[in-house]
């Protein structure tokens, strides 16, 4: 899978892309991540890529010419690429969106900055994504979020592929609690069922914890989740325990 990042701040990326599983995936050739500076496409000796907004207002706006030129240059090199703008106005980026994008071979991520981009540049992307209902200085952090969430679904990225099926949001529920050694820490003990060796009991406990945590912390997710008959039995148990 190939990613192309278009940004005014190319120096933002080497450290996170050179760390952890992302770096290993790049070294193994599972993914490639190219970072290109939008400013390189700005005209003039000073490569000015932003300007004051028409109509007045605060801050600066990315100019349409360098943004579109950067997008078109990327499309010329990556003709199959899905072109995405990171924007607070975009559709919410979810695990389902990550799975959808993981089926792409090439992705171009356009990072806005300052007060945003000239509206006319939006006609040159395929979609817009938002990673949450808050404001960032620019799309650079959002681009890293999208890359990691999508790349970890590429076969071979995660050593134990089975772990992907039990993570938070994968089936609409939060993940169950995890424990490791020591068994006791400052009067907090690992739940006895996890030490029992009874795999069926452990699986049931974990599913119940996923339902409990989702019910407590993200009832919106629980309302949309597809629940089995056993899940409803477990929810009834949880309700009795809490009443």
The 10s digit of each residue's pLDDT in 97-107 is: 999 999 999 99
Indicate the angle between helix axes 199-217 and 229-242, nearest 10 degrees. Answer: 70
The CATH label, of 3.30.560.10, 2.40.110.10, 1.10.1270.20, 1.10.10.10, for the domain at 167-242 is 1.10.1270.20
Encode pLDDT of 132-176 as tens digits. Answer: 999 999 999 999 999 999 999 999 998 766 666 656 677 889 999
Residue 173 exposed, middle or buried by CB count within 10 Å (0-12, 13-18, 19+): buried
Listed in sequence order, the residues at least 6 apart from 240 whose beta carbon sits closer than 8 Å to its beta carbon are none
CA angle 97, 99, 105 (to 5 degrees): 105
By CB atoms closer than 10 A (0-12, 13-18, 19+), residue 8 is: buried
The CATH class given to the 2-151 domain equals alpha beta
> What is the distance between the alpha carbons of residues 146 and 93, in angstroms, rounded to a whole number?
8
What are the residue boundaries of the structural domains of the chain, listed by start? 2-151, 167-242
- Count the helix, strand and coil residues of the chain and give each as a percent rounded to the nearest 5: 45, 20, 40
| Prediction pTM value | 0.90
């Amino acid at each position: 899978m190939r990613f192309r990042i278009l940004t005014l701040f190319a120096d933002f990326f080497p450290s996170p892309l050179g760390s952890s599983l992302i770096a290993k995936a790049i070294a193994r050739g599972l993914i490639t991540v190219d970072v290109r500076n939008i400013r390189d496409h700005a005209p003039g000796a000073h490569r000015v890529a932003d300007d004051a907004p028409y109509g007045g207002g605060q801050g600066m706006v990315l100019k349409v010419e360098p943004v579109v030129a950067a997008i078109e240059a990327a499309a010329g090199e990556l003709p199959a690429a899905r072109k995405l703008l990171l924007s607070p106005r975009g559709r919410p980026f979810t695990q389902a969106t990550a799975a959808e994008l993981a089926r792409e071979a090439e992705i171009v991520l356009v990072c806005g900055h300052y007060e945003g981009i000239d509206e006319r540049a939006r006609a040159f992307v395929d979609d817009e994504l938002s990673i949450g209902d808050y404001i960032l200085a620019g799309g650079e952090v959002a681009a890293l979020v999208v890359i990691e969430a999508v790349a970890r679904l590429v076969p071979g990225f995660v050593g134990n592929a089975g772990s992907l099926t039990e993570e938070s949001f994968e089936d609409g529920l939060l993940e169950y609690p995890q424990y490791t050694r020591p068994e006791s820490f400052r009067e907090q003990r690992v739940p006895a069922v996890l030490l029992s060796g009874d795999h069926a009991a452990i699986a049931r406990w974990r599913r119940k914890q996923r339902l409990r945590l989702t019910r407590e912390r993200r009832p919106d997710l629980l309302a949309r989740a597809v629940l089995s008959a056993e899940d409803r039995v477990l929810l009834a148990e949880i309700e009795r325990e809490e009443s």
